[in-house]
Amino acid sequence: MAALARKADVTADRLAVLDLPQGGKWATEARQAALARVNAMGLPGRRDEYWKYTDPTNLTVPEAPPAALFDPRETPVFDDTERLQIVFVDGVFDAEASDDLEMAGLEISRLAEAGGHDIHWAKDVYGVLEASGQAPVERPLAALNTAYATDGVLIRVTGKAAKPVSLMYLHKSETSDAILHHTIRVEKGADLTILENGPAAARFNKCMEVDVADGAAFHHIRVQGRDHERRAATHIFARVGAAATFKSFTLTVNGRLTRNEAVIEIVGDEAVAHIAGASVGDGDFHHDDTVFVTHDAVNCESRQVFKKVLRNGATGVFQGKILVKEGAQKTDGYQISQSLLLDEDSQFLAKPELEIYADDVICSHGSTSGAIDETALFYLRSRGVPEAAATDLLVLAFLAEALDEIEDEGLREGILAHLEGWLARRRR
């Protein structure tokens, strides 16, 4: 009873400093339903099963813990990629820094504007996928986002987008507390690539709902880095139709606390869903990937590939599940989570899960944790490679399987160069 009372108090304190945005009929109904979910669930605590490895306190306290601004000392990732750029500064849309939102094959609007209308296509997606993703595991921070997000992009894709859409998040206030919600519908046969990068805010709560229709393709590449003292909780909810493709990759190289959740529901036959991540942490770095993939169709494929490199007391967490429902025959589900611990002070906590109710499936999961390969390190050093540079080469080789999940070669090479630069700047 005392734990429930504390959860209720934490929830009440957090909600007391927030104002429910006003809007049109569809947005108001979605926000009110989400608020009801928050009040029913309560915000997360360490006693919750899927939060026992990550302390959510700094994500639920009323005010955002301060996060210092850092000189990036690096060219922003994706700068060499032709793209449509949309910029948010501490969660506020920056029209001057953003490109014109018009592009062939896309309809783009902002939640701050479209939410004021009584009718909008987003009604069938906004809050809908998030609500569906609340079972069997509750995700109250996502419901909080749906209720209180004041802005974000609403993207409807009707054809093959001419170039990627880039969401850039800038951090300029040490106490900013940003909540953004993006809603994306990829219509039948359409194709879209979303790029995300930037520290965003001192504390960042972001939700992305993606509805991928039959025969459509959605690619998502995200880089989280720079300002180390930031905290973030992000969620991706995806619904994948028949013969559709969903692929998401995240690179994380900084951050005091990052919790990335992904809830993928495969509902159409012959669909493919891949989600991958690579993270490199140093010192007071806590990174949590929590993934739930549901197979509810025939002859579908899913992959979860997560690699973490940790040193100087950094902590990595992976919680991944594959659920194969009855009737989802010929499922091919693969899950791997691995960590490379560069010292004895760091730790990796893993909870891989399979739950299968069909009998004609191929599903596997594995989780390993280990130190650098001393034989390989000795070989490189014997060939004249300095120890720090040799260690970086072995780190990159370890992360390669996750990086290979990026289909676009140019984007993959750009991510690799960004990672190489980060490692070089932090050589001992």
Residue-wise pLDDT tens digits, 211-243 = 999 999 999 999 998 899 999 999 999 999 999
The residue with tokens 């998030």 is 130
Residue 327 pLDDT: 96
For 398, residues 6+ apart whose C-beta sits below 8 A from its C-beta are 307, 309, 338, 340
Given a cut of 90, whether residue 313 has pLDDT beyond it is yes
3-state SS, residue 29: helix
**pLDDT in the model for residue 422:** 86
Residues 106 and 120: their CA atoms lie apart, in Å, by 15
pLDDT of amino acid 97: 96
Say what the pLDDT of residue 315 is: 98
Rounded to whole angstroms, the Cα distance separating 197 from 255 reads 13
Predicted confidence (pLDDT) at residue 281 exceeds the cutoff of 80: yes
Tell me the average pLDDT across 257-264: 98
Percent of the chain with pLDDT over 90: 92
Residue 357 confidence (pLDDT) above 80: yes
Q: Which of 237, 330, 313 is nearest to 275 (CA)?
A: 237
Per-residue pLDDT band at 136 (split at 50, 70, 90): very high
pLDDT, the chain, mean: 95
Mean of pLDDT values over 364-375: 94
Here the tokens at position 50 are 């899927």
* DSSP β-ladder status, 301-311 and 257-266: unpaired
Which tens digits make up the pLDDT trace of 343-356? 999 999 999 999 99
State the pLDDT at residue 338.
Answer: 98
Quick one: pLDDT band at residue 3, thresholds 50, 70, 90? Answer: confident
Which one has a higher pLDDT value, 421 or 158? 158
Place of tokens 């944790």: 369
Task: Report the predicted TM-score, pTM, of the whole model to 2 decimal places.
Answer: 0.97
Asked whether residue 428 carries a pLDDT value surpassing 60, the answer given is no
Once rounded to an integer, what is the mean pLDDT over residues 115-135? 96
pLDDT at 120 over 90: yes
* Mean pLDDT on 406-412: 95
pLDDT on residue 76 = 80
Per-residue pLDDT tens over the stretch 43-87 = 999 999 999 999 999 999 999 999 999 866 667 889 889 999 999
